[in-house]
Chains A and B, each alone.
Chain A
Amino acid sequence: MDPNARLRQEHREPTVSKAAQDHRTQAAPLEFATPEEMIRHDRERTEVPEAVGERLAHEVGAEPAPTGRPWWRRWLG
C-alpha cells in the first residue's frame, strides 16, 4: 500500500433520468492531492444545523446587555 498515493474517494451522484434509477448510481472519483484538501472539501459540505444558531440566539437574548464595546463590534470596525 503506497501511503503517498493520491487520496481517492468514490462520490456517488444521484442519477437524473428515470431509467437510470434502476441502475446503480454513477460513481465519480474525487481526487485530492493532500489530506488538507480532502478535509477542506469535507468541511465545505458540513453545515452547522440551524438549531444550533437558534439555541444560541435564544441564550444570547437572555444575557444581560454588555457594557463597553463588544469585541465583535471592534472587529467589524
Chain B
Amino acid sequence: MAEIPDETGVPPASAAESGPAPRALPPAFAEVYAVHAQAVYYLALRILGDPTQAQDAVHDVFLKAFRKYGEFRGQSEVRTWLYRITLNHCSNLRQSWAARNIHTVADDSVFETGVASAPNPLRVLETKELGERIQRALDELTPEYRLLLLLVADQELSYEQVGELTQQTADAVRGKLHRARKAFNAAFQRTA
C-alpha cells in the first residue's frame, strides 16, 4: 500500500468526474469507473476516515461490481448500486476493526499509517483545512446523520434513493436531514 499516493490529491481543474479512466479497463467499464469512482472514493473516505482504506475500498467495490455484472438488473441506478456495495464494504470493515479492537485496544498505529505516508505535504495542507474539518465534524455525528449528509450531498441521488440506501422513507430522510444539518453545523464550529 505504501506506493499509493496521498489522501485526496489536488483538485481537478474543472472536471466534476474522476478524470481519465484507466486505459487497461474494458472501455465500457472504464467509463463507469470514470463517472462514479470519485463519488465512491469520497463516500468511503468520509465513512472510514482513512485514505488508504478508502483507496482499497474503491478497488474492491469496482472489482466486485465487475464480477457481479450478472446480478445488476437495472432496477436501480448504477450509482445507487455502487453505493450499496460501498456501504456494505465499509460496514464489514468497521465491524472487523471493532472486533479487532476488542483484542488490541491501544493499537492506533494501523489507522495512522495512511495519512502519515502522504508524499506531498503541500497537497495535504491544502486539503487539510476543509477536508479534515469536515471529517472531524462528521466523526462527531451519529452514523445515520453522517451517512444521510454524505448521500444527500450527492445531487445524483433523490431522497427516494437515499431512503432506499438507508432503509427508510423519503419523508423520514427529509425529517432527519434538518437535525443532521444542525448537528453538523454545531460540530463544524467546534473544529475551528
A residues with CB within 8 A of B = 1, 3-5, 7, 9-12, 30, 34-61, 63, 66, 68, 70-76
Q: How far is the CA of A21 from the CA of B68 in the complex (A)?
A: 53
Residues in chain A near residue B5, CB distance under 8 A: 49-51
A31 to chain B, nearest CB (A): 12
Q: How far is the CA of A1 from the CA of B18 in the complex (A)?
A: 37
List, sorted by A's number, 19 A–B pairs whose CB atoms are closer than 8 Å.
A4-B185, A9-B129, A36-B149, A39-B149, A48-B37, A49-B4, A49-B6, A50-B22, A51-B3, A53-B22, A56-B25, A56-B59, A58-B24, A60-B26, A68-B70, A72-B31, A72-B32, A72-B65, A72-B69
- Given A3-B185, A4-B182, A75-B78, A42 contacting B134 (CB threshold 8 A): yes
A58 to chain B, nearest CB (A): 7
B11 touches A57 (CB 8 A): no
Q: How far is the CA of A35 from the CA of B138 in the complex (A)?
A: 10
Apart from the given pairs A56-B62, A57-B23, 8 other A-B contacts in the complex at a CB distance below 8 Å = A44-B11, A52-B58, A55-B59, A60-B25, A60-B26, A66-B66, A71-B78, A72-B32
A61 to chain B, nearest CB (A): 6
Q: How far is the CA of A39 from the CA of B137 in the complex (A)?
A: 11
Cβ-based interface call for B8 (8 A):
yes
Q: How far is the CA of A43 from the CA of B137 in the complex (A)?
A: 15
Q: How far is the CA of A61 from the CA of B66 in the complex (A)?
A: 11
Which residues of chain B from 71 to 127 have a CB within 8 Å of any chain A CB?
A: 71-72, 74, 78, 126-127
Q: How far is the CA of A42 from the CA of B46 in the complex (A)?
A: 11
Residues in chain B near residue A9, CB distance under 8 A: 129-130, 133
A72 touches B29 (CB 8 A): yes
B4 touches A52 (CB 8 A): yes
Provide the main secondary structure of the chain B interface.
helix
Task: How many A-B residue pairs have C-beta atoms within 8 angstroms? Tell me.
Answer: 173
- Given A57-B22, A60-B29, A60-B66, A46 contacting B59 (CB threshold 8 A): no
A72 touches B28 (CB 8 A): yes
Question: What is the total number of residues of chain B having a CB less than 8 Å from a CB of chain A?
Answer: 69
Cβ-based interface call for B47 (8 A):
no
Cβ-based interface call for B165 (8 A):
no
Q: How far is the CA of A48 from the CA of B70 in the complex (A)?
A: 26
B130 touches A56 (CB 8 A): no
B181 touches A35 (CB 8 A): yes
A7 touches B185 (CB 8 A): yes
Residues in chain B near residue A30, CB distance under 8 A: 130
Q: How far is the CA of A4 from the CA of B39 in the complex (A)?
A: 27
